[in-house]
Amino acid sequence: MNKLGLIAGGGGLPLEIAQHCERSGRPLFVIRLKGFAGSGLADYAGAEVGLAEIGKCLKALKRAGCRSICLAGQVSRPDFASLVPDLRGLMLLPKVIASARKGDDALLRLLVGEFEKEGFEVEGAHQVMDDLTLPAGPLGKLAPTTDELADATRALEVARAIGRLDVGQAAVVSGGLVLAVEAQEGTDAMLARVADLPGHLKGRPGAGAGVLGKAPKPIQETRVDLPTIGLATVQGVARAGLAGIVGEAGRLLVLDREAVIALADELGVFILGVEPASLEQGGP
């Protein structure tokens, strides 16, 4: 197994990947992005790098002998005027700003391309850990009703539609009505907005109605930014009075899988994976 350079943002995904490498014996070097990477990564061999310190990042990865990299974790869009780039970052900054104006996916493709130019193989989190994605069918004890399947189909249709515009990856539908779509605020904040909607538009905690759908953008660089669910997602869905979560099998990351299943069963939230091809046929 070649040595993996893990470029770590926030959230639980980078730590899951690091622990997986440790268990499987894969050599690992962690680039901890300042202001984003969690403290749990401090014990792993690596370096702390600023968001615009591209040269420092590349040198550290090469010095450590990494042949592959994986970009994982949450990184919010920065205030470009406040960045402190090194020389390589300064040279790249005009392209970064121009790509950012075209959307998040254009920015991510630019960054992936820069690492590939330097000879690194870019691996997605789901390629590093092949059991990280949502399987087809119900995940846990609960399955959706016929009405909930209709909402699930609609939620994925809407999520894919806003994805084509590079807006977001998620949508909430209840009774056929679109209650919310995700933009820069992220899924957790979107679910908090849904929780504040009038009760007749959705269910209530313990008696949910409506579905959260998450899907990758059609133009998306899936090695970098697959949609993700975790414990906070399940809690947010239940708090918002929704019945469940739907995503594309093999194209949605599930963090803390066993804990997510247990919590979803406890809170009465179904989690459903559907084959991506079935979406073209009109439903799960």
- pLDDT tens by residue, 142-176: 999 999 999 999 999 999 999 988 888 999 999 99
In whole angstroms, give the CA distance from residue 273 to residue 135.
Answer: 6
> Is residue 277 very low, low, confident or very high in pLDDT (cuts 50, 70, 90)?
low
Is the pLDDT reported for residue 113 higher than 60? Answer: yes
Q: Which of 13, 62, 45 is nearest to 224 (CA)?
A: 13
Residue 279 pLDDT > 50: no
CB atoms near residue 106 (< 10 Å): 15
- Give the pLDDT confidence score for residue 226 in this predicted structure: 84
Sheet with 170-174, edge to edge strand ranges: 137-138, 270-274, 244-248, 211-214, 170-174, 177-181
What is the distance between the alpha carbons of residues 122 and 156, in angstroms, rounded to a whole number? Answer: 28
pLDDT at 283 over 50: no
pTM for the full model? 0.81
Give ∠ CA 237-281-276 in degrees, rounded to 5: 55
Percentage of residues of the chain with pLDDT beyond 70: 97
User: How far is 130 from 93, CA to CA, in rounded Å?
Assistant: 34
pLDDT tens per residue, range 74-107: 888 778 888 889 999 999 989 988 888 877 777 8
Question: In the prediction, which pLDDT does 280 show?
Answer: 46
What are the structure tokens assigned to 193, written together? 């907005």
The candidate with the shortest Cα–Cα distance to 123, out of 17, 41, 15, is 17
Lowest mean pLDDT segment, chosen from 17-26, 81-90, 153-162, 257-266? 81-90
Q: What is the pLDDT of residue 42?
A: 93
Two tokens, residue 254: 């599930």
- Band (pLDDT 50/70/90 cuts) for residue 281 is very low
What is the Cα–Cα distance from 228 to 170, expressed in whole angstroms? 10
The whole-number pLDDT of residue 221 equals 72
E-strand stretches of 12-120: 28-33, 46-49, 68-72
CB 72 within 8 A of CB 222: no
